[in-house]
Structure 1
Amino acid sequence: MAALSKPDWLEPREYQDKAVQAWANSSGQGILNMATGTGKTVTSLLAASQLASLQDDSLALIVAAPYQHLVDQWKSDMNDFGASPILAYQSRTRWTDSLASQITEYNSGVRDTLAVITTHKTFSSDHFQDLIGRLNGVRTMLIVDEVHHMGAPHLRSSLPQNIRARLGLSATPQRWYDEEGTEALTSYFSNGVVFEYGLEEAIKNGYLAEYYYIPHIIELTEEEQEEYLALSRSIGKRMAAVSGDIGDADSQADETLKQLLFKRARLVGSAANKIPELRELLIETGLEDLHHTLIYSGDGNVGEEGEETRRQLEAITELMGNELGLKIHQFTYEEDQKERERLLNEFETGVLQALVAIRCLDEGVDVPATQTAFILASSSNPRQFIQRRGRILRTHADKDHAIIHDFVVAPPTEVRKSGEDSLFSLERNLVQKELQRVSTFAASARNHPDASIPGIPTSTGSIRQLKKDFNLLDV
């Protein structure tokens, strides 16, 4: 097998060379914190090829990525560097014998290069760990893509101690509400984050597109307000009983509190008024002019009490496809890789005007042709919205700038005028997390979030007023 090496046609960007050097200067262990869309994969392969060169063109390279479609993308990039990797996912009978044989050849010196790409799930399995445990760790390199995932307890325990060269990649390396997981990653990649290349710098240097950010304040319906207030009071009582906090639902140790937070988050994510707001914005944009548009949907149901409910995904599809006559398609985990490639190609060429997705466009799926995005459901977890923004801002020959419409749900008016200090304080914390997302998006945008922009539809709701209502003008 040929040695891993940089292709002749590739001209590394200046910051990519600096990233590789920073990692090398840190004894070949560390995390690269680079904005989504700035070429982390290529940067890591440049580091791997440099290491191979220092080891007389000898290297065993293991890459672990969170999803199967990312494994396939890594294979394409690795092929450019002259490697023919084993893809270790799905049925182990498809790859075990090949991997075991190549490990034997590599350890005996018959083979100079070994490359395997796998998913985080397979990587953490006892079977895979047993196989790579046979490798000479001194001449082995591990690259963990979207390394923040690997901080989860069931994954981080599988990080092999015998492998010397370790490189983690992420635009969001810190695990939200999980200091223990973050510290575990920092410890394993001995020097923590060794290089950073942020979004503002990438935009300034032309590696990501400039963008307009337009938040839209969404009010809950009366029925939703009643349910929201009931859930909030239950959450407050449970928090007091278990000494919990208003952090991310996934991080809650108390199962009852976790389920209450999930239920309220789903209510907010699927707020009924988002659909008519989307309809107005699409019409104002101009249906015939709509193109290269992503819609991020929630995974909850919409519909008032007594009415037939349906998934928000289906409601958006019905609105855009049937009512407005747009050429759209859902993009979910139900499509296989071949179907996904077809949809992305039709989106790129303009055959499809829009894709409607839930979460599967958050990490690793490249859609650089995207010019407009409507985010109907978003988490307060920075990882999700930072990843989404990076997907949208990838450069494209036909894109001058991007437009991001963000639907921000305001707590019920009753809360803002409530005499219940505990309830107001609880909701203030929630609004603060929402506004932190707004501030993050707005900080690098061309416009002020409350400004009117010629040619781009905006709404009447004011972010400043929402801040004022909750004494958060400093956010």
Structure 2
Amino acid sequence: MSSSPFFGFRSGLAVLAPPDDVSPPPWMTRDPRLAAWVAPGHRLPELRRWAREEGLAHLEDSGAGAEALDPDFHDARTPRDYQWEAVRRWEAAGRRGSVVLPTGAGKSLVALLAIREQGEGALVVAPTRALVAQWFIQLADAFGGHQVGVWYGDEKDPRRVTVTTYHSAFSILERQGDRFGLLVLDEVHHLADTRDGTESTWLDPLRIAPAPHRLGLTATYPDGRDTGLEGLLGPVVYRRAIGEMADRELADFVTERRFVPLAPHETERYRRADGLYQEWMEAHGDGASSEEVWLRFMAETRRSPEARRAFHAYLERERIVHTCRGKLHEAGRILRLHPAEQAILFCGSRDAAEAVARHFAIPMVTAHTPASERRDILAGMGGGRIRALAGVRVLDEGWDVPGAKVGIILGDSSRGGRRQHAQRLGRILRRRGEEVASFYELVAADTFEFFASQKRRGALRDARSRQLGLGL
């Protein structure tokens, strides 16, 4: 470390070696290993302001810095008024904060416009590699492939605009964080505080990032669990729900819940498995919360044969409900009811998705589907060559399948989670002419799934003003 006075960004830290007659800011800590004062990297903008006030701005390291983008921008879409309004609200908030828009409302275009307005290096962070690939294509089309790179796994090619995952973001920000003046955080609800109120470890990249400007994107903001997120990203600066979107912005839709009976042999298996599972849970509840009992249950499965038998029973009843004969029969009826429309069949597990894909002879997309195969399948949907597609969670976030106007819920992976239900609805709401989207929920009667269905239907409350009807 140089003994000359300086300040700048080093390995995820804002670092200051002040002149002898200048005291450092009170929020910095002395690090004897560096013979300098340090703070988390996200405080570098504060350090710059302090240096200007002290007349020390000239001491900043001449590091990489955020490189200006080429001015060319290409996107065939015409931004809607609400997308421009979202960008303007974000700019008015100091270019920090989250934009909350329904799935299918064009959050990615808001990000592209923000990057263009910023005009300098940007890092886009997404939760999965599949979404990284999708972001790369959009960014390369908009700004030119020569300006766009990726950083994850063995692919490490950082450029002016770089796409990475939350898992890989720390490594690039620690090494080259000062290359990016803007962070774009996709599906930012993944950074919510944990249920016990502690901050998510996925916030660590934001703590070391020196980027002064930050944009979060989500359809389901974690209200009440955003303490750490708001501190490092900023507040919600723009929000619109499905029910608030104008007719020209999202498709109208209808929803219908259909109850299907289990076959006699399925009922017998379900009752046997459910009885074994419930017996263990009731015997070990002791008045604790359901979450505490579940954690205790998971711990016991590692050492108790009785708990392992109960866990296998739990998995068995899940399999029965997710792939029961009645659901497959009813899903077939729905597909025949919409012979000219593309459909997405949302499943509760990978095994269920495989069973559905085999039954209807349709493709399946999961987190384990190779990227090249996934691109071919989605291209087939986009080109109209594939009529229906089965998936678990990978289709819930970020995927653009504008031709799909039928959604069939065969099961969920969140046990009644409203966020997942809203995201799945959003997959079929991208407007295409005057087409109306149809959203079906198939529920196994007289099973635990009824209560999960009641919980997840809360996601539709804000959307009902756009519905043409609400099935029972």
- State whether TM-score is above 0.5: yes
Say which of 177, 200, 211 aligns to 2:253.
211
Correspondences of 1:393-404 after superposition (within 5 Å)? 393-397=429-433, 400-404=435-439
Match of 1:64 among 125, 149, 154: 125
User: 2 CA distance for matches of 1:15 and 1:284?
Assistant: 34
Aligned partner of 2:175: which letter? L
- Residue of 403, 419, 426 corresponding to 1:383: 419
> Match for residue 155 of structure 1?
202
Structure 1 residue 234 displacement after superposition: 3.1
What letter matches 1:15 in structure 2?
Answer: Y
Query: Match for residue 185 of structure 1?
Result: 229
Matched residue SS, 1:407:
strand
Provide the C-alpha distance between the structure 2 equivalents of 1:320 and 1:210, rounded to a whole number of angstroms: 27
Corresponding residue for residue 443 of structure 2:
408
Aligned to 1:87: 150
Matched with 2:289 is 244
Q: Which residue of 2 aligns with 1:313?
A: 353
Structure-2 change in CA distance of 1:262 and 1:72 (3 Å): farther
User: Which amino acid in the other structure matches residue 235 of structure 1?
Assistant: M
Match of 2:215 among 147, 161, 167: 167
**Match 1:332 to one of 340, 355, 366:** 366
The answer for unaligned runs of 5 or more in structure 2 is 1-67, 194-199, 302-306
Tell me if the contact between 2:402 and 2:428 (Cα under 8 Å) persists in the aligned partners. yes
Give the Å deviation of 1:157.
2.0
Instruction: Tell me if structure 2 keeps the 8 A contact 1:442–1:449.
Output: no
Q: Find the partner of 2:101 among 31, 34, 57.
A: 34
Task: Quote the Cα distance in structure 1 between the aligned partners of 2:247 and 2:99.
Answer: 19
Distance 1:369 1:432, change over 3 A: closer
CA displacement at 1:288 relative to structure 2 = 9.1
Q: Do 2:345 and 2:407's aligned partners in 1 also have CA atoms closer than 8 Å?
A: yes
In 1, the alpha carbon distance for the partners of 2:464 and 2:325 equals: 24
Q: What is the distance in 2 between the residues matched to 1:247 and 1:33?
A: 32
Residues 44-59 of structure 1 aligned to structure 2 (within 5 Å): 44-52=111-119, 59=120
- Asked if 1 retains the 8 angstrom alpha-carbon contact of 2:406 and 2:438, the reply is yes
2:174 is matched with 130
| Matched residues, number | 383
TM-score by length of 2: 0.71
Q: Report the CA distance shift for 1:410/1:239 in structure 2 as closer, same or farther (over 3 A).
A: farther
Distance in 2 separating the partners of 1:263 and 1:314: 21
1:197 Cα deviation after fit: 1.9
Per-residue CA deviation, residues 24-79 of structure 1 (Å, 9 max, x unaligned), is: 11111101011111111111221222232xxxxxx221111112222222223223
CA distance in 2, matches of 1:429, 1:364: 28
After superposition, the Cα gap between the structure-2 partners of 1:329 and 1:184, relative to the gap in structure 1 and judged at 3 Å, is: same
Per the TM alignment, residue 362 of structure 1 is displaced from its structure 2 partner at its CA by 1.0
Which residue identity lines up with residue 446 of structure 1 in the other structure?
L
For 1:8 and 1:377, locate their aligned partners in 2 and report how far apart those are by CA, in whole Å. 37
Q: Structure 2: how far apart are the matches of 1:248 and 1:383?
A: 23
Give the conservation status (yes or no) of the 8 Å contact 1:148–1:172: yes
- Residues 83-121 of structure 1 deviation map (CA, whole Å, 9 limit, x = unaligned): 5211112215x42xxx4xx6xxxxxxxxxxx22111111
Cα deviation digits, residues 115-157 of structure 1 (max 9, x gap) = 2111111113xx3232134x167xx111101111233733112
* 2:346 alignment partner in structure 1: 296
1:403 corresponds to which letter in structure 2?
A: S
Query: Matched residues in 2 for 1:347 and 1:273: separation?
Result: 24
Alpha-carbon deviation of 1:254?
7.1
Structure 2 residue 185 is the aligned partner of structure 1 residue 144? yes
TM-score, with normalisation over the residues of structure 1? 0.71
SS in 2 for 1:185: helix
Which secondary structure does the structure 1 equivalent of 2:121 belong to? strand
Deviation for aligned residue 1:236? 4.2
Residue 347 of structure 1 and its aligned partner are, at CA, apart by: 2.5
| 3-state SS of 1:31 partner | strand
Deviation of residue 372 (structure 1)? 1.4
2:9 aligned partner: none
Question: Superposition RMSD on alpha carbons, in Å?
Answer: 3.4
Any conservation in 2 of the 1:145–1:169 contact (CA below 8 Å)? yes
Q: Distance in 2 between matches of 1:30 and 1:129?
A: 19
- Map Cα deviations across residues 325-359 of structure 1 (whole Å, 9 max, x no partner): xxx22223343222222222323333322112222
Q: Sort the Cα spacing of 1:8 and 1:163 in 2 relative to 1 into closer, same or farther, 3 A.
A: closer
Question: Are 2:243 and 2:464, in contact at CA under 8 Å, matched by a contact in 1?
Answer: no
Mapped partners of 2:274, 2:143: distance in 1:
56
Work out the CA distance in 1 between the residues paired with 2:281 and 2:465. 32
The verdict on how the C-alpha distance between 1:266 and 1:4 changes in structure 2, with shifts beyond 3 A counting, is farther
Contact 1:211–1:393, Cα closer than 8 Å, also in 2: yes
Deviation at 1:164, TM superposition (A): 0.9
Superposition pairs of residues 325-364 of structure 1, within 5 angstroms? 328-364=362-398
Within 5 Å, give how 1:395-474 maps onto structure 2. Answer: 395-397=431-433, 400-412=435-447, 432-437=454-459, 444-450=466-472
Aligned residue type for 2:469: N
Give me the identity figure in percent.
23
The residue that corresponds to 2:400 in the other structure is 366
Q: Is the 8 A contact 1:368 1:394 kept in 2?
A: yes
Query: 3-state SS of the aligned residue for 2:227?
Result: helix
Supply the distance in 2 between the matched residues of 1:289 and 1:66 (Cα, whole angstroms): 34
Stretches of structure 1 lacking an aligned partner (at least 5 in a row):
53-58, 103-113, 301-310, 322-327, 416-426, 451-475
Q: Deviation of residue 278 (structure 1)?
A: 3.0
Contact in 1 for aligned 2:417/2:456 (Cα 8 Å): no
Cα distance in 2 between the residues matched to 1:60 and 1:253: 47
Q: Which residue of 264, 268, 272 maps to 1:222? A: 268
C-alpha distance in 2 between matches for 1:247 and 1:369: 43
Q: What CA distance in whole angstroms lies between the structure 1 residues aligned with 2:347 and 2:216?
A: 30
Query: 1:208 and 1:370 mapped to 2: Cα distance?
Result: 13
Find the aligned partners of 1:7 and 1:200 in 2 and give their Cα distance: 31
Distance 1:297 1:278 in 2: 11
Residue 187 and residue 269 in structure 1: after superposition, are their counterparts in 2 closer, same or farther (change >3 A)? farther
Secondary structure in 2 matching 1:3: coil
- Conserved 8 A contact 1:246-1:429: no
Q: Specify the alignment match of 2:42 in structure 1.
A: none
